[in-house]
Amino acid sequence: MAINGSTLATLKRGQKGIIRAINAADPQVQRLMVLGLVEGTEVQHASSAIGGDPMEFRLFGCGISLRQEHARHFQVAPVGAGD
């Protein structure tokens, strides 16, 4: 499944988005789904390390960090503009 448009990797710092579609073929992406990154869940891009990778996201109050290469597999509908 091809993922186009906004993904977790393109969310700006502070911006929120709702996950709409996931390319779940990669087992590492499936692992992230077990941690709660599934369709319909609202996530916020909280921070990133130097160089923008890995990125930290917040969902329902918990923080989870993932690398950009995995964040690209999550298509999101952005909510608001971020800062």
Partner 1 sequence: MTSPNEIRVPANEITVAKRIDASIAVVGNPNSGKSTLFNRLTGLKQRIGNYPGVTVERHIGVLKHENRAVELVDLPGTHSLSAHSLEEHIAVDVIFGRMEGTRTPDGILAVLDATNLYQGLFLVQQLVELGLPTVVALTMTDAAEKGGIQVDTAELSALLGVPVYPVVATTGAGLDMLRRALVGIKDITPPRRVRIWPELAAAAERLAEDSREPLRFAELERLLIDGPTESNRDILGKLSDAARARIDTERAALFEGEPPIARDARIRYTWVRSVLDKVQKSAPAFVTWRSRVTDFLNLPVPGTIGLFVVMAIVFQAVFAWATPIMDAIDASSSALSAAVFQRLGDNAFSSLIADGVIAGVGSVVIFLPQIIILFLFIILLEDSGYLARAAYLMDRAMRSVGLSGQSIIPMISSFACAVPGIMATRVIPNRRDRIATIMAAPFMTCSARLPVYALLIAAFVPATKVGFLNLQGLVLLGLYLFGIVMGVLTALIMRQTALRGPKPPFALMLPEFRRPNLQTVAIQLLGRAKVFLKRAGTVIFAVAVIVWALAYFPRANDIPADLDANTAAAMQMEQSWLGRAGKVVEPVFEPLGWDWRVSSAVIAGFPAREVVIAVLGTVYAVGDDADEGTLSGRLKSATRPDGSKVFTLPMVIGLLIFYACCLQCAATLAIIRRETNSWRWPIFAWAYMTTIGYLGALVAFQLGSA
Is residue 35 part of the contact set for partner 1 (CB under 8 A)? yes
Binding residues with partner 1: total (CB under 8 A): 37
Q: From the list 8, 11, 22, 76, which residue makes contact with partner 1 (rule: CB under 8 A)?
A: 22
Q: For residue 68, give the 3-state DSSP assignment.
A: helix
Is residue 82 part of the contact set for partner 1 (CB under 8 A)? no
Is residue 77 part of the contact set for partner 1 (CB under 8 A)? no
Q: Measuring CA to CA, which residue among 38, 81, 44 is closest to residue 61?
A: 44
65 by Cβ neighbours in 10 Å (0-12 / 13-18 / 19+) ranks as middle
Residue 5 or residue 35: which is nearer to partner 1 going by CB? 35
